[in-house]
Each structure stands twice: as structure tokens, then as C-alpha cells.
Amino acid sequence: MPDSPHVFDATETTFETDVIQASLTTPVLVDFWAPWCGPCKTLGPILEKIVASYNGAVKLAKVDTDAQGQLAAAFGIRSLPTVVLVKDGQMIDGFMGALPEPAIREFLQKHIVANAAIEEKDTPPTAAPIETPEQAIARLQQEIAAAPEKPEIKLDLAIAYLRAGLADAAQTELDALPANLSEDTRAKRLRNQLDFARSLKDAPDITTLRARLAQNPADHAARDLLGVRLLIDGDAAAGLEEFLHILQTQRDWNEGQAKKRLIAAFGVLDDEDLIGTYRRRMASLLF
């Protein structure tokens, strides 16, 4: 380890302070490595050289996964080396493998430029009108009546029922699907989502839940239900954000339900990049 104030070892004990809290003012690269890993030995000096050239604008935290196994497991590290960029208390990007120096510099510069572009936007883009679950149900019922020989529409209807919070109706349509459709990827995901949907029985709609949160941001029950509704409606990132908010503000609320929600959500989503991002963010709040 070179004698540099910008390169340091991180452990389970120091990670919260030296990485998560420190990243609120200075971005931190976290290098997950091991003494036996050949590519890690190649990558380490390159990272140290790049960090030194930034003159304190970025720091490098080294995590020996042999010595800090629980920390590596919390971040879902599956191969070495793995590098993640932590900024503003969150894991925002990363890469695996011993990339060459130009690629790593491009990785950092590209990310910084992307953030700057986002911050310079004066107004968000106008969202296109979105069909409500109730509108989708009505439309799909009409389509089924017009084309009863197309059972795939029934799968769409089951998904629409789920998004409307009608778990029993969704289950009925799902059970009635022919064998070939019952093994469809969407059907399998739908079965996994039904447990989430059943938690919405008698729950308020999204508009009501948002109104409750506007009146009381600490209404964790409303935020939890909003997260489930967003997840089921297909806006997974927004739903996960609500669970993360609870975890960040009161991690032991309702016996740690936010953590349980996140873990369950990881099991029903199929976007590995999204899962990896939010798994790392969850870990950053727990350590």
C-alpha cells in the first residue's frame, strides 16, 4: 500500500465512516480484491495511480475479501476484482475485471459527465400518458371477448389484475392459462409477485398513499405500501427507492420489514443490473 492519504484499507468496522459517510463529500472507489487473485495484483497499482492523479478528488478503499468476507457477501461480490464507485452515500456504478488504465479513466469521466448532464437539465421531460390498471382491465376484457382463441391475452389480463391489487382475480386467470403459457417467464414472475399483491388487500391507491406521505413523510406504513404498489405496477426502481428510504430512516421499523421487502423484491425481478445496484445500496445502509 503506497503512503497516500487517498488510498486506504476498508473493513466492516470502518466502512460506514470511511466509505459511505466520506463519499458524501468525496467519491470513493472501492476495490474488492484478494491476495491470491492475479488480476487484482494487476489492477491495484493502476487504480492507485489514477486516484493519485486526481489529487484528492476521489479516494480508493481497498477491501481484502479474504479478511472481510461478510462485507464482500453483503455487496454480492461474485468475482474478483470488482470495483464500485460510491458517491453521495450510494453505489452508483462499477465494473469487474482488470480493465486497462484508459478504460478506467473513461469509466470515471463518463460517469461524471453523465451526472453533470443530468444536473444541467432545467426541466424534466414530459411523461407520456400512462394507462391505469383499471383501463387496462377493461381493454383486455374487450379484447378477450373479441378474440377468445388468443389465451395470451388472458396472461396480460392477469398482470393487469395484479397491478390493480386484485390478487385473487389474478390468481384465477393465472390458474386458467394453458400449459405452454403457464411456463411463460411473465407467468412465473407473476406467481412470485402475488405474495406482494396480497399485502395490498384493502390498501389505499397510489394517489392516496402519496397524499399521506406529503402530509407525513414519516408514515412508513404508507411508504411501504406505495413501494409494493410501484413494484407491482412495473416501476421497480421507484418501489425499491421507497423501501430504501424506510431502511435509511428507521431500519428496524416493523421488525426490519424494509430489508425483507428488498430481499423479496430481488427474488422477483429479472433485471440483474438493477438488482446489483440496489443490493449494493442496501448493503451500504446496513454497514
Query: What's the full length of the chain, in residues?
Result: 287
Cell for 129? 400518458
Task: Provide Rg for the chain, Cα atoms.
Answer: 23
37 is catalytic: yes
**Grid coordinates representing 140?**
383486455
Measured in whole angstroms, the distance separating CA 112 from the mean position of its chain's CA atoms is: 20
* Half-sphere CA count of 17, side-chain side, radius 13 A: 5
* Active-site residue, selected from the candidate residues 22, 28, 40, 83: 40
Which residues touch 96 (CB under 8 Å, ≥6 apart)? 79, 81, 82, 83
Q: Which of 226, 250, 251 is nearest to 240 (CA)?
A: 226
40 is catalytic: yes
CB 34 within 8 A of CB 25: no
As a whole number of angstroms, the distance between CA 287 and CA 178 comes to 47
For 155, the grid coordinates are 396472461
Considering 19, 30, 37, 159, which one is annotated as catalytic?
37
Strand order, beta sheet including 59-64: 7-9, 59-64, 28-33, 82-87, 90-96
> How many Å apart are CA 51 and CA 222, to the nearest integer?
43
Closest by alpha carbon to 28, among 42, 13, 12, 16?
16
Q: Where are the beta strands (DSSP E) in 13-162?
A: 28-33, 59-64, 82-87, 90-96
Question: What is the Cα–Cα distance from 167 to 200, expressed in whole angstroms?
Answer: 9
Query: What are the catalytic residues?
Result: 37, 40
